[in-house]
Amino acid sequence: MMQYWLMKSEPDEVSIDDALAAPAQTVAWTGVRNYQARNFMRDAMRAGDGVLFYHSSCAEPGIAGLAEVAGTPYPDPTQFDSASKYYDPKASPQQPRWMLVDVRALKKTPLIPLAALRAHEELADMQILQRGSRLSITPVTPAQWRFITGRLMKQA
């Protein structure tokens, strides 16, 4: 069964435009260093799952595009690179600690800012809207996905 996700990326690291310009419009979702977000990628995500591509830590955070999970999880190579800010000295190729999935950008959408998400009762239970939520990857329910991709994206 298809699942849906909201995946945050800082646009100065990888924006929706960067993903659309990448070969096959696909980027490796590197640098996740939270165990719960890692577990979502490792244990729950499947190729074809829908992704709300969210720009975070920027002037106007919000949903900036649609994407899909493009493959199965595999070890994040940045954990092994001592020059990377995502290096993990406790990880080894034999025992990787961090996984990633490839994400294929499908289209850029008009930005749906966080305030617009908060304005709709239908989205009140979205994890990104919960107090203290800082996860870079969160599940989205089918009803939330339909509301955002159907109603909000058509209004934006």
Does pLDDT of 23 surpass 70? yes
Encode pLDDT of 102-145 as tens digits: 999 999 999 999 999 999 999 999 999 998 888 999 999 999 99
Kindly state the tokens that stand for 58.
């920027």
* Mean pLDDT of the region 52-79: 97
CATH, domain 4-155, list 3.40.50.970, 3.10.590.10, 3.40.50.2300, 3.20.20.140: 3.10.590.10
Lowest mean pLDDT among 29-38, 44-53, 147-156: 147-156
Q: Is 21 helix (H, G, I), strand (E, B) or coil?
A: helix
